[in-house]
Structure 1
Amino acid sequence: MSTSNRKYKDSVFVDLFAEDEKAKENFLSLYNALHGTALKATEDLRNIRLDQVLYMTFYNDVSYLVDNKIILLAEHQSTINPNMPLRCLEYVSRLYETLFESKEKYSRKLLKIPTPEFYVFYNGEEPFPCDKTLKLSDAFIKKTENPNLELTVKVININRQNRHPLLKNCKTMQEYSIFVETVRKWKEIDPQNGFQKAVEECISNNILHEYLKRKTKEVINMLLAEYDYETDIAVQREESLMIGIQQGSYQKALETAKNLAEMGFAVEAISKATGLSKEEIEKL
């Protein structure tokens, strides 16, 4: 299944915190839980999300300008990608470009820029710490005690069994975590109608009740797209692994053929031993 022809779509996470009519209220609740604040003025929030993605076919990011900060949120449903600091660096660089005119950057006056913060919310099934910090410097080839460039991403595990304090302090995120669990359960029980059953159960249990009741059809469509996306990623990872194995096997065959040739074996014998063609052996 190819992702190249599919239009970019929002995930339920992004819709809940960035696009829905109550997204700013949900985001502000999350922001307050992360910072121990009590901000209430949603009109002070500015959605600055880019027409760019952190994940291949999904707008899986949430970006706001609030309280002189750039807050960039992302969601992970599988293994955490260790390259998130690099992705966030590219993303925030583009955000700064959109916030200021080019000529402002050449002014003799110091340009004041919003402070960036980066968060990833993990809700995959593989074990992962309650929270963890990823650093850009971890990827540097040459390690230094005080790197000249650093970017940190805070990863928070929102699976309920981890009991992260964020879930207690942000009702929307807690209910979203329960929603994800319910979707996962019903998808396994009833692959054909699982998404519909999950939404119905959450509504009856007062989990994201108003949101799901108002947007049942849209949410199911987003879940279907997300499921297809996760399937695509799994297939691509498997294909990438197989290509790596094949390339490694081919390289090993070339090395063996070269060694046999140096030992004086005939081309026909080398071909039979390695599976390489006569033309490939003669090029060595």
Structure 2
Amino acid sequence: MNNVSLPINRIYKDRLYKMIFNDKSELLKLYNAINGTHYDDPAMLTITTLDNAIYMTMENDLSFIIDMRLALYEQQSTVNPNLPLRFLMYITDIYSAYTKDMNIYGSKKVQIPLPSFVIFYNGVKSQPDRTEFLLSELFHPTTDQPALELKAVMLNINKGHNQELMNACHTLRDYSEYVARIRTYSAEMPLTDAVEKAITECIHENILRDFLLKNRAEAKAMSIYEYDEEKTLRMFREEGYEDGERNGKIQATIEMCLEFNLSSDAIVQKLMTKFQFSENQAQEYLDNYIAQNS
């Protein structure tokens, strides 16, 4: 990859949402708000989030066990009907680790935590407060009596949605407000300035104040990266570029250019010529490829 400048925010591929709710106290508040429970001891939480450094390919946002209930949470800025399949993969690995010292071949039943699967949606496309996705909807051929089922619930956490949930979990409400401000301001000014303005205002107005004061630099970098990523994915969809064959040709072109050690400017020019991209479009494709493969 000679002469190709990597995006400065590539090291911040974790989610701001995940960083906020990695705090057990905040995660417990979120769980209580979703389930109408009143647990008050964060030590009851056992984190089971998959780390791809251990599981090689599997990584999820947040998962934990409390009182023999296993919760798996994912944050998404796009609607993904394949998440039940991903959840199935996640929970298989989690149950494998959970039962590694149990005799699953014996005559006595083993006890495993009761699972639930929640998707927190904060994309720009309009969605209802609550949507359910079923694993069986992916089966082909279809059947009315699937031998295997998994239900994932998608909750819209954009500003103005799921007010009861937001009132029950102020941190989630604050996160929603923070994201909404970045989107509003980024339409009026450069993204870096928009994020800085949102952070400054939120601190002043006691919105995620403690978190932003403690993690200002990391939060800013993550927010810029997430917004850029979201914008790029949206560009793929809105302009019809998610067709597999076309995306494959674009990726192959970038890979070929990198093999020949072309500069980033030369790769951008190649994409502009071959695919009739504007300079900004070509640069976004290149940046997104590098971010995903670095």
What TM-score, normalized to structure 1? 0.75
Write the distance in 2 (CA, Å) between the matches of 1:2 and 1:92. Answer: 34
Which gives a bigger RCO, structure 1 or 2 (Cα 8 Å, sep 6+)? Answer: 2
Look up the SS of the partner of 1:134 in the other structure. Answer: strand
Is 1:12 the counterpart of 2:16? The answer is yes
Q: Is the 8 A contact 2:241 2:247 kept in 1?
A: no
Write the distance in 2 (CA, Å) between the matches of 1:208 and 1:63. Answer: 22
Write the distance in 2 (CA, Å) between the matches of 1:51 and 1:232. Answer: 25
Is 1:48 the counterpart of 2:48? The answer is yes
Aligned positions of 1:77-96 closer than 5 A: 77=77, 79-96=78-95
Write the distance in 1 (CA, Å) between the matches of 2:222 and 2:66. Answer: 27
| Ranges in structure 2 where 5+ consecutive residues have no aligned partner | 250-294
Equivalent AA in structure 1 for residue 133 of structure 2: L
Deviation of 1:58 (Å)? 11
Q: Which residue of 2 aligns with 1:243?
A: 245
1:182–1:67 Cα change, 3 Å: same
Q: Which residue of 2 aligns with 1:137?
A: 136
Q: Which residue of 2 aligns with 1:67?
A: 67
Please list the CA deviations of residues 136-171 of structure 1 after superposition, one character each: whole Å capped at 9, or x if unmatched: 111111222221100000010112222442111111
Write the distance in 1 (CA, Å) between the matches of 2:36 and 2:234. Answer: 38
| Ranges in structure 1 where 5+ consecutive residues have no aligned partner | 248-284
1:151–1:40 Cα change, 3 Å: same
> Alignment RMSD, CA only?
2.9
Deviation of 1:7 (Å)? 5.1
Write the distance in 2 (CA, Å) between the matches of 1:134 and 1:76. Answer: 14
Equivalent AA in structure 2 for residue 135 of structure 1: L
Look up the SS of the partner of 2:103 in the other structure. Answer: helix
Deviation of 1:59 (Å)? 6.2
Aligned positions of 1:187-198 closer than 5 A: 187-191=186-190, 192-198=192-198
Write the distance in 2 (CA, Å) between the matches of 1:242 and 1:48. Answer: 34
What TM-score, normalized to structure 2? 0.73
Q: Which residue of 2 aligns with 1:32?
A: 32
- Greater C-alpha radius of gyration: 1
Q: Which residue of 2 aligns with 1:101?
A: 100
1:92–1:59 Cα change, 3 Å: closer
Look up the SS of the partner of 1:32 in the other structure. Answer: helix
Q: Which residue of 2 aligns with 1:233?
A: 233
Write the distance in 1 (CA, Å) between the matches of 2:247 and 2:70. Answer: 42
Q: Which residue of 1 aligns with 2:112?
A: 113
Q: How many residues align?
A: 238
4+ residue runs of structure 1 moved beyond 4 angstroms? 57-60, 234-239, 244-247
1:60–1:215 Cα change, 3 Å: farther
1:141–1:200 Cα change, 3 Å: same
Look up the SS of the partner of 2:187 in the other structure. Answer: helix
1:15–1:37 Cα change, 3 Å: same
Q: Is the 8 A contact 1:10 1:58 kept in 2?
A: no
